[in-house]
Structure 1
Amino acid sequence: MNPRTFATGGYDHVVHLWKLTEDSQGAIASPLAIRHASLVQSLLPICDTSCKLVSAGADCSVHLWDLSSERVVNTMKTSNSVYHVHKTLTSFSTLLEVAHRELQFEVRDHRLVPERPVQRFGYEASKPHGRDGIFACGDREGNVRLWDLRNTAHALQVLPAVSGRKLAQVIFSDNYLVASSEDQRLAFMPCFGQP
């Protein structure tokens, strides 16, 4: 939420909040009191009633860290390891990519007593694996799948990106989708609905 601040997490199970020095020549790290029992795989800043940091890990835990009170205000347990956390249209929910064979995505409402806490969807796969309501993800064959979160029965579109290579991450950047494979190959594609 602050342009001079960023967060990291990894194999040490710890989430660090970093602040750039005034001259931007270095950064100072502070560990956060977020307890993960395994690899921290994804972080996402959100702002609902306050600014928070979502941390998700291989331990099937998703924690919401409140930046102002400096504490975990909510923890969600998932049935599968979480690979990535993505923003949704509402600031009260997040989209999780999880290690599940048929239901690779979960939209989680992180309010304490939601009406419908989880919406699951996915595509048939042999192995486990948004913008304005459109969500993009990569698969093991090098394709990018676009989903409309208002209708998750089927992928909206499947775009070839890096043939035969597992995609590690897909992000929206300006008018493009950027897909990165596990062996650091990049593919740039026009965004859905762009020329």
Structure 2
Amino acid sequence: MFASGGYDHVVHLWDASRNVSRPSPTSLVIKHTSTVQSLLAIRDTSHKLISGGADCNVHIYDLSSERVVNTLKTSNSVYHIHEALSPFCALLEVAHRELQFEIRDRRLVPREAVQRFGYPSQTTHGRYIKGKIPCFPGQRIIQVVFDDARLVACSEDHELAYIHYRSGE
């Protein structure tokens, strides 16, 4: 299974178990009022899907009960959602000039992030923020995923780059 979201404001769950060449979609009852810009599948006490959008909403959807169990309202558009070390927190990349990153606790509905940080910038970069590691000359990186020993980047042309690193360095 995999999830997708986009300009239609809808999050779809796709099942490829019966036929890999023709997966079947199911629309989830997640209500975004603008583009769905990021999705993250997580497992804390159950399987959940987190969606973030240009409407400044982050919805936590429980796959087993098929409902939104929590909604976080951010002050800026959410570009990306990443896992954090705590199974109950998420790292959000948001549209802000100085504080582009927020750590949010998904168990609560706080008015503010647990932690906000970033770097000074004259403009909001948009969905594609400049990085320090060149992966794809002349192309934008549209998604980055981290694990214990590497970073996986996906380009706008759907190419993948695997960058190995050691945590703690």
Per the normalisation by structure 2, the TM-score is 0.82
One-letter amino acid matched to 2:141: L
Find out whether 1:122 has 2:112 as its counterpart: no
Alignment partner of 1:102: what SS?
Answer: coil
Q: What value does the CA root-mean-square deviation take over the aligned residues?
A: 2.7
Map of 1:15 onto structure 2 = 11
Aligned counterparts, 1:108-187, within 5 A: 108-112=104-108, 117-129=113-125, 139-140=129-130, 143-144=131-132, 159-162=133-136, 166-172=140-146, 175-182=149-156
Find out whether 1:47 has 2:43 as its counterpart: yes
Map of 1:81 onto structure 2 = 77
Alignment partner of 2:119: what SS?
Answer: coil
Partners of 1:163 and 1:70 lie apart in 2 by: 41
Stretches of structure 2 that go unaligned for 5 or more consecutive residues are none
Q: CA deviation at 1:53?
A: 0.5
One-letter amino acid matched to 2:33: A
Q: Is the 8 A contact 2:71 2:109 kept in 1?
A: no
Partners of 1:181 and 1:28 lie apart in 2 by: 26
Partners of 1:65 and 1:186 lie apart in 2 by: 28
One-letter amino acid matched to 2:106: H
Shift of the 104–20 alpha-carbon distance from structure 1 to 2, 3 Å rule, reads: same
| Identity in percent | 57
One-letter amino acid matched to 1:190: H
Partners of 2:94 and 2:86 lie apart in 1 by: 20
Q: Is the 8 A contact 1:162 1:186 kept in 2?
A: no
Map of 2:65 onto structure 1 = 69
Equivalent residue pairs, number = 165
One-letter amino acid matched to 1:69: S
Provide Cα deviations, 1:72-115, integer angstroms capped at 9, x if missing partner.
0100000000000000111111000000011110000011267x
The structure number with the bigger radius of gyration is 1
Shift of the 122–49 alpha-carbon distance from structure 1 to 2, 3 Å rule, reads: same
Aligned counterparts, 1:19-34, within 5 A: 19-34=15-30
Q: Is the 8 A contact 2:90 2:103 kept in 1?
A: yes
